[in-house]
Each structure stands twice: as structure tokens, then as C-alpha cells.
Amino acid sequence: MPSSVVGLIHPGEMGVTVGAAARSAGARVLWASANRSAQTIARAADAGLEDAGTLDELVSECQVILSVCPPHAAVSVAEAVAGMGFGGVFIDANAVSPDTARKASRMVETTGATFVDGGIIGPPAKAAGTTRIYFSGPGADTAAALFEGSLLDAHVITGEAGAASALKMAYAAWTKGSAALLIAIRALASAENVEEPLFREWAISQAGLEARSNQAARANAVKAWRFVAEMHEIADTFAGAGLPDGFHRAAAEIYASLEGFKDCSPPPEPTQVVAQALKAGAR
């Protein structure tokens, strides 16, 4: 669909690269600057996205709406777009549970729109081969065509709305869930004053785990504020499958304890992350 006009909600760190990928594949990509920060406005301008001004104007001008927002806002975005009578293709590429995706689907389909479930795996798409977007549902092929030849590798998988989200949840359950677990383990070892013996044992039996725990602390602390809602979405996905959901409810608590490091530059040292997790846990 290279001649499409795509409306991006919102050009955050990930979303702006998704919009840029669609633009590089031939689409005209718009966004709405109303009530957005100066940082977001600059990010969108740098990516060559066109400003439609308001969400209402964006929806009226676009054939495709692409939602890439924090998980807690996914349903409200779908509801707002549906409330404006949108009848095109709505792509929900948010990190949400299958049930949340299906809830968003029911909202946008009431106005005749085609709902496409999407799930992004990987970092912001700034280099070829790093990031994939999976689509499911009746409009999946149409959505994938938007990114043909771009830095974002698009895949269509079997299943209706919820399948792509389920894949994203299963993947992030390990990547972000295990990072939270490593941070919690480091905090436990610190509280009991056994970090150095733990590191020595890891060196013997779990080679590379100390370095991985350091990376988990540094890389995830600055983004922890974004992961809290995602952990709850993953927990809901487990619960929906009849599985225990406590693993990722606890991960949400770990990430919530680190929200003060939001966009911190340079990233905090692991000792700072551990100390903050322990401080929050003691409250």
C-alpha cells in the first residue's frame, strides 16, 4: 500500500522509527502535535513526519491509523479514533495482551474499520535486521505491505486479532521479565551481603550472568516506567491462558520501583539500581 496516508499515534522512541519505516516504503506519514512535548515535536520533524495538528484532523486525513503508544493508553487511543468515525485500517502495534487487543478491535470495528493486531519485537528500527513487526487478522497483509523494503521487517502470522499480541507477550515475558528477575536477585544478594560470593559462583557455573545482570540494570532502569503496564499485560496474558500470573506482577513492582530513573543520562550504575529497588521495597 505505498500510496497510503498513514496517521501515527504517537512518535515516541519506538513509534517514530515505525513511522519512518512506513515513510521510507512510500507512505505519507502524518502525526498530531497537539498537547505533545517539544521533544516529541522535534523527534517527528527529524523523521520527516507531517504534522496534522490535532487527532481529529489526523483521523480525517488518513487511510491507515498506526497506534504505537504505552500499553496503558492502547484502549483509550482505539476508543478515541472510533469516536471520530474512522473507517480505514487501524493497526494496533502496542505491547498488550490478546484480550486488550480484542477489546480495541471491538471498538474500532463498530465504525467499519479493519483492525490489524500488531506486535513489535526488537529495539527502535534504526538498522536493518534488528526489529520485526508481526501482524495478524484480516488486514495483516495490507499492514505488512506498508513496510516492504524498509528497515522494519514485517511478518504475517496465522490467527485473528490477538495472535500477534500473544507472540509479543510471550517474547517479552522472557526478555523483560528475566531482566526484572536479575535486578531483584541482585537486590536480594545485596540485602543479605552475598553479592561477591554470588558473582564468584556465577563465574563458575553461570558464565556471563554477572555481566548480563549489569546490563539488565543499566539498560532497563531508564525505560522501567514504560515496562510497568507491559508487565501487567503479560500477567493478564498468562492468567487468560489459565497460568499463574504472579511472575510478571512482581516484575511490574520491580520496574515501578525504578521509575525515578526515567530517561536518565548517563544510565545509572547497577549499584544505584539495586539500592533504589531495595529502598522502594522497604517502604
Q: What's the confidence (pLDDT) of residue 282?
A: 60
Given pLDDT bands bounded at 50, 70 and 90, which one contains residue 263? confident
Overall domain count for the chain: 2
* Boundary residue ending a domain (142, 159, 176): 159
Residue 88 has pLDDT above 60, yes or no: yes
d(C-alpha 131, C-alpha 88), whole Å: 26
d(C-alpha 119, C-alpha 91), whole Å: 10
Residue 170 has pLDDT above 50, yes or no: yes
* Boundary residue ending a domain (143, 159, 175): 159
Residues 181 and 152 in one domain: no
User: CATH no. for residue 199?
Assistant: 1.10.1040
* Boundary residue ending a domain (128, 159, 190): 159
Q: What's the confidence (pLDDT) of residue 135?
A: 98
Residues 130 and 41 in one domain: yes
Given pLDDT bands bounded at 50, 70 and 90, which one contains residue 281? confident
Residues 84 and 127 in one domain: yes
Residues 44 and 177 in one domain: no
Average of pLDDT values for 180-209? 98
Residues 140 and 171 in one domain: no
CA angle centred on 55, ends 52 and 58, rounded to 5°? 45
Residue 84 has pLDDT above 50, yes or no: yes
User: CATH no. for residue 94?
Assistant: 3.40.50.720
d(C-alpha 104, C-alpha 182), whole Å: 33
Average of pLDDT values for 78-97? 97
**Which DSSP symbol is given to 4?**
-
Average of pLDDT values for 155-168? 97
Q: What's the confidence (pLDDT) of residue 280?
A: 84
Residues 152 and 226 in one domain: no
d(C-alpha 120, C-alpha 165), whole Å: 9
Q: What's the confidence (pLDDT) of residue 103?
A: 97
> What is the span of the domain harbouring residue 101?
5-159
pLDDT digits (tens, 9 = 90+) for 122-148: 999 999 999 999 999 999 999 999 999
pLDDT digits (tens, 9 = 90+) for 220-257: 999 999 999 999 999 999 999 999 999 999 999 999 99
Average of pLDDT values for 80-104? 97
Residues 224 and 135 in one domain: no
Residues 127 and 201 in one domain: no
Average of pLDDT values for 103-116? 97
d(C-alpha 162, C-alpha 149), whole Å: 26
Q: What's the confidence (pLDDT) of residue 2?
A: 46
d(C-alpha 270, C-alpha 221), whole Å: 9
Residues 171 and 134 in one domain: no
Residues 152 and 207 in one domain: no
Given pLDDT bands bounded at 50, 70 and 90, which one contains residue 276? very high
Residue 3 has pLDDT above 80, yes or no: no
Residue 1 has pLDDT above 60, yes or no: no
Strand partners, 233: none
Residues 220 and 253 in one domain: yes
Average pLDDT over the chain reads 96
Residue type, 14: M
Residue 42 has pLDDT above 60, yes or no: yes
Question: What SS3 class is residue 67?
Answer: strand
